[in-house]
Chains A and B, each alone.
Chain A
Amino acid sequence: MTDSSPAAAAQAEAAAFCDLHQRIRQEVGRVMVGQGDVVDGVLTALLAGGHVLLEGVPGLGKTLLVRTLGEALDLKFSRIQFTPDMMPADVQGTQVLVDTEGGGHELQFQQGPLVANLVLADEINRATPKTQSALLEAMQERQISIGRRTIHLEEPYCVMATQNPVEQEGTYPLPEAQLDRFLLKLLVDYPEESEYRAILERTTGSEDAKVSPVTNGAEIVRMREIVRSVPVPEIAMNHAIRLVMATQPNRENSSAMVRENVALGASPRGAQALLLAGKVHALLDGRFAVSTDDIRAVATACLRHRVMINFHGMAEGFSADQIVASVLENVPAAV
């Protein structure tokens, strides 16, 4: 075995990664029109081993995207339509009284829809914080604890949640601990004019686009291992750390905009998200190590839901995207 074999193996793995990404993207594209950035973001979160939060107005295909992805991945897919009266037991599972063979009864645990590979949490902000908190352990620890029972969730495990920004009436905003567990927050925007024709033709005709599975759970797990093996040089890691610290208002080197308008900055989970998403970005860009460009490319999606704007910033009309943009401007990529 020559010395070039490890590098060649890494190149082959990277090529396989890009090929799988392209196959999934093509299959999803049979149903989903446009929204290329959103599809890439969802696949980035899936392949990086994180969860994703989709936010957009109704009717833009958020649910359709996740449902199509579930069909294309051949994973155990479950959908939870969150409502205000939903309880944690409805999500995690609970013990129910069932009849036994001998005519008796016994309490038997029945798993909730959270036990799956790909979970679509539709309109997650319509549930109460009590129910929303039921997802915390599953998203972070990959397990569910009910009473004395602990259920380890099967890998790959990914929660894809949607929420509508305009329907805030009767909704409960996600708490910071919940938001922090999402690797990316993607904003689904209106399609372009050229995409409307394809959307109307596909949705109003008699033929339904069929999506066939192109991969399985084991391959997704393998891709996640490839992502984890991408090295991060010191220059990229330092840049990620500086970006995250620049969002924290109590830092000396944070900008005036952050100090005045931000109540809570990104946590170390934000830096983890930057590196994981940056690894996927580097692989898709044909490189074998993370660069500062990768970090900056994924920074907005990774940090926008981890930056909490205070009352002053709300009064000034600043958004989290503007804060992150100012941070990117104030923290150059130079060494």
Chain B
Amino acid sequence: MSPREGWQELTQDLNQLAGQAEQKLQARENHKRWRNAFMQALPVAVSTLAVFAFAQLLGRLGKVSALQFTLWPWVALAVVLWLLQAIRLQRRAAQHADGIARQRALHEWDQQLHLADRLATADEFLHQEEPTPFMQAAMDDARDHAAKSRQASLLFAPESTPPRLASPLLAMGMCLVVGFFLGNWQSTPVVEEPGITVSLPGGSGEVQEKDPVNESNPPPVQAQMPQKPKPERKPSVEEANAETHAANREAGQDERSTKGDIGSGRSSAAESSTGAGNAQGTPSKQGQISKPGERKTGSSKPKPPKPRKEESGEPPKKNEEQESGSTAGRGSSRGSNRNPAASDWASKDHVNTPDDQDLEDENEVDDEDEEQESRGGMQPTMRDRKPPVSRDLSIGFGNQPSPDAKGRGGPSTPKKSRGTASLVLGVPIPDRVKGQPNQGKTKITQERVQPQAEPAKTGIAQERLARVDPASALRRDPLAPWMSRIVRDYFLQRSQSER
């Protein structure tokens, strides 16, 4: 079989495979178009049912009485509109759809049979005017695969993405339920009396009187018009209130008698109480007299306002000792009040007396050194916690920062709104703890040691000879005799001229 004949067979095989795949692909495309059309038309059905629910609502409110239909015509209308819209969308999609390409049909075969695009490639190369040797080899390679593929059948995997029906169906169901509920609610008669039918079409409160004599005769046109309720039939507000009061009185009597029965045998004080709770003998908290000593002071007692420094009647030294961490070490409770949270920035500069200053500083330095050693490194020392340099450039009012400083008035009261500490009332937390950026104090020790001579081998300068090898890569070839003579004559003439 010549290659051309083989390629004709290949062409026939590919035609058959492509035709088969195109039909199946076309069917799948149609199915997909119909499905998409039905999905896209679902809002029409939802809208119809929403109109149904709205109409039922209007009918319930008495706005429009002509829309009071039953459920099934609305459902039928929704289905019809849905189908019409789906058909319209499917036709429009079919008009704009391209035909199934032959390459795509063959590629489906390649994909399903794992032929690595042999069929689609061979079909493309068959249409080449002058196929290269590799193209011819590719066509020869695809010939056997195409022949084998004719026995196979093309199968498509089911759609991986299910249609999203949840939200449209939910909306339709909601509309149906709402409409059905509204429709049923308005059609239920509220009050029925012999001879009188009271219906509330749309909630308007109409009252129509049925005449048993003229029941069989249709009423005149005017009688069919909505009539005003008769005054004796329509309860007025006063009457309604009177009835309500009477009903309440009766209910109260019944209640009292019932409670009296329940509360029989109890104390007379409980029985003579007027409230319902008192009638049952349950003591109320408001009526109970509590002893002054029983009241909890922690939660209910309001805290006295914290006295300001200027207004405090205590001597300033005592106040400073309580607030300052640097001065709290004195006495038996030394070191216990060194929490930086309990200190105040402004209370550090004028605390100690001059007599105790040196001794106290020395002791604190020793304590802090010991603490630092025990902590294993440098730690921020409380002693250095001095207020930062004031940047308040405005004129203040005494010790208070200027109210116009807008936050730039230097040290102020510590912030209380940070982290967990902000949840604890009355615990001032400074906004930062001053640390030491460097290694701190440096101890310099100087030792007076005399320099000592070290034994060293003395070198002999004469042993260091001149370099034998050339210093660079330049070669010094011996001069030619004629050049030597020229150089010699040159220097002789020069020496003679100098004489």
What residue in chain A is nearest B115 (Cβ atoms)?
A291
- A14 contacts partner chain B, Cβ-Cβ < 8 Å: yes
Q: B132 and A291: CB pair below 8 A?
A: no
| A150 at the binding interface (Cβ < 8 Å) | no
B2, B3, B101, B138: which contacts A289 (Cβ < 8 A)?
Answer: B138
Q: Report yes or no: A4 in contact with B2, Cβ–Cβ below 8 A.
A: yes
Known contacts being A7-B140, A10-B133, A335-B107, is A231 close to B477, with CB within 8 Å?
Answer: no
Residues of A within 8 A of B117 (CB): 233, 235-236, 289, 291-293
Chain B nearest Cβ from A92, distance in angstroms:
24
Cβ A289 vs Cβ B121 within 8 A: yes
Task: Indicate whether A230 reaches chain B with its CB closer than 8 angstroms.
Answer: yes
**Residue contact A230 to B134, C-beta cutoff 8 Å:** yes
B124 on the A face (CB < 8 A)? yes
Inter-chain contacts of A289 with B (CB < 8 A): 117, 121, 125, 134-135, 138
Report the separation of the CA atoms of residues A231 and B139 in the bound assembly, to the nearest whole angstrom: 12
Q: Is the CB of B134 within 8 A of A10?
A: yes
Q: Does A287 contact B (CB under 8 A)?
A: yes
Query: Is B436 an interface residue, CB under 8 A from the partner?
Result: no
Q: B134 contacts which chain A residues (CB < 8 A)?
A: 10, 14, 229-231, 288-289
Report A-chain residues with C-beta under 8 Å of the C-beta of B103: 234-235, 335
Closest beta carbon of chain A to B251's beta carbon, Å: 68
Contact with A along B80-116 (1 / 0, CB 8 A): 0000000000000000000001011001001100001
- Within 8 Å CB of B141, what residues of A? 287-288
Using CB atoms, name the residue of chain B closest to A282.
B116
Question: With a CB–CB cut-off of 8 A, which chain B residues contact A333?
Answer: 107, 111
Interface size on B, residues (CB 8 A): 30
Indicate whether A235 sits within 8 Å of B121 (C-beta atoms), given known contacts A291-B116, A334-B111.
yes
Q: How far is the CA of A333 from the CA of B107 in the complex (A)?
A: 9
A18 CB to nearest chain B CB (Å) = 13
Please tell me if A204 contacts chain B, counting CB pairs below 8 Å: no
B140 partner residues in chain A, CB cutoff 8 A: 4, 7, 11
Among residues 1 to 42 in chain A, which have CB atoms less than 8 Å away from a CB atom of chain B? 2-4, 6-11, 14
- Interchain CB contact under 8 A, B120 and A7: no
Chain A min CB distance to B155 (Å): 16
Q: Are B477 and A103 in contact (CB under 8 A)?
A: yes
Give CA–CA (A91, B118) in the complex, Å.
46
Q: Please name all residues of chain A whose beta carbon is closer than 8 Å to the beta carbon of B295 when the two chains form the complex.
A: none
When distances are taken between beta carbons in the complex, the residues of chain A under 8 Å from B395 are none
Q: Is A155 an interface residue (CB 8 A)?
A: no
Q: A2-B2, A287-B138 are in contact. Are A231 and B107 (CB under 8 A)?
A: no
In the complex, the number of residue pairs spanning A and B with C-beta atoms less than 8 Å apart equals: 95
**Contact assessment for A99 and B111 in the assembled complex, using a CB-CB cutoff below 8 Å:** no
Is A329 at the interface (CB under 8 A from chain B)? no
Question: Are A334 and B137 in contact, with the CB atoms below 8 A?
Answer: no
Q: Is residue B475 contacting chain A, with contact meaning CB distance below 8 A?
A: yes
Contact of B3 among A7, A229, A230, A294 (CB under 8 A): A7
Within A250-290, which residues are at the interface with B (CB < 8 Å)? 285, 287-289
- Asked whether, in the complex, the Cβ of A334 is within 8 Å of the Cβ of B107, the reply is yes
B138-A231 in contact (CB<8A): yes
Of the residues A10, A285, A293, contact of B137 by C-beta under 8 Å:
A10
Query: Within 8 Å CB of B137, what residues of A?
Result: 6-8, 10-11, 14, 288
B347 at the interface (CB under 8 A from A): no
A7–B10 alpha-carbon span in the complex (Å): 15
**In the complex, what's the smallest C-beta–C-beta distance from B431 to chain A, in angstroms?**
31
Partner of A10, one of B4, B116, B124, B136: B136
Query: How many whole Å from B362's CB to the nearest CB in chain A?
Result: 49
B116 engages A293 (CB within 8 Å): yes
Would you call A233 and B473 a contact (CB within 8 A)? no
Please tell me the number of chain A residues within 8 Å of chain B, measured between CB atoms: 30
CB pair A287 B2 closer than 8 Å: no
Residues of A within 8 A of B120 (CB): 233, 235, 335
CA distance A6 to B138 in the complex (A): 11
CB distance from A224 to the nearest CB of B (A): 15
Compute how far the CA of A285 lies from the CA of B141 in the bound complex, rounded to whole angstroms. 12
The answer to whether A6 and B111 have CB atoms under 8 Å apart is no
| A11 to B135 Cα, complex, angstroms | 11
Nearest-Cβ distance from residue A5 to partner chain B, whole angstroms: 8
Min CB–CB distance A116 → chain B (angstroms):
27
- The interface centre, meaning the residue of B4, B137, B475 with most chain A CB atoms within 10 A of its CB, is B137
Residue of B at shortest CB range from A230? B134
A10 to B125, CA, bound (A): 15
Per-residue B-contact encoding for A216-237, CB less than 8 Å = 1, 0 else:
0000000000000111011110
A29 and B70 alpha carbons, distance in the complex (Å) = 84
Question: Bound state CA distance, A291 and B122, in angstroms?
Answer: 11
Known contacts A7-B3, A287-B116, A288-B141; A233 and B133 CB within 8 A of each other: no
Taking a contact as CB atoms under 8 Å apart, the answer to whether B3 and A9 are in contact is no
In the complex formed, the residue of B with least CB distance to A5 is: B133
- Give the residue name and chain of the A residue nearest to B2 (CB): A3
| Nearest CB in chain B: distance from A295 CB, A | 10
Query: Are A9 and B121 in contact, with the CB atoms below 8 A?
Result: no
Contact B4 A3 (CB under 8 A): yes
Q: Which residues of A contact B3 (CB under 8 A)?
A: 2-4, 7
Residues of A within 8 A of B104 (CB): 334-335
Contacts of A231 in B (CB 8 A): 125, 132, 134-135, 138
B245 to chain A, nearest CB (A): 70
Nearest residue, chain A, Cβ from B120: A235
| Choice from B116, B133, B135, B138 contacting A9 with Cβ under 8 Å | B133
Q: In the bound complex, how far is the Cα of B136 from the Cα of A288, in angstroms? A: 9
The CA of A231 and the CA of B101, in the complex, are separated in Å by 22
Indicate if the CB atoms of A235 and B107 lie closer than 8 Å.
yes
Residues of B within 8 A of A9 (CB): 133
Residue in A closest to B476 when the chains form the complex, CB atoms? A103
Pick the most buried of B111, B134, B475: most chain A CB atoms within 10 A of its CB. B134
- Complex Cα–Cα for A166 and B4 (A): 59
Q: Within the complex, what minimum Cβ distance (angstroms) separates A11 from chain B? A: 5
Interchain CB contact (< 8 A) of B473 among A8, A10, A99, A291: A99
A285 touches B133 (CB 8 A): no
Per-residue B-contact encoding for A319-335, CB less than 8 Å = 1, 0 else: 00000000000000111
Q: Within the complex, what minimum Cβ distance (angstroms) separates A12 from chain B?
A: 10
Most buried by B among A230, A234, A287: A287
Given contacts A233-B124, A235-B120, 20 further A-B contacts (CB under 8 A): A6-B136, A7-B136, A7-B139, A10-B132, A10-B136, A11-B137, A99-B474, A233-B121, A233-B125, A234-B103, A235-B117, A287-B116, A288-B134, A288-B135, A289-B121, A291-B110, A291-B117, A293-B116, A335-B101, A335-B103
Could you list 5 examples of A-B contacts with CB < 8 Å? A7-B136, A99-B473, A99-B475, A291-B110, A335-B104
Q: Give me the 3 closest cross-chain CB pairs, A-B, nearest first.
A: A6-B133, A291-B117, A10-B133
Hey, which bits of chain A sit against chain B, CB under 8 A? 2-4, 6-11, 14, 99, 103, 229-231, 233-236, 285, 287-289, 291-294, 333-335
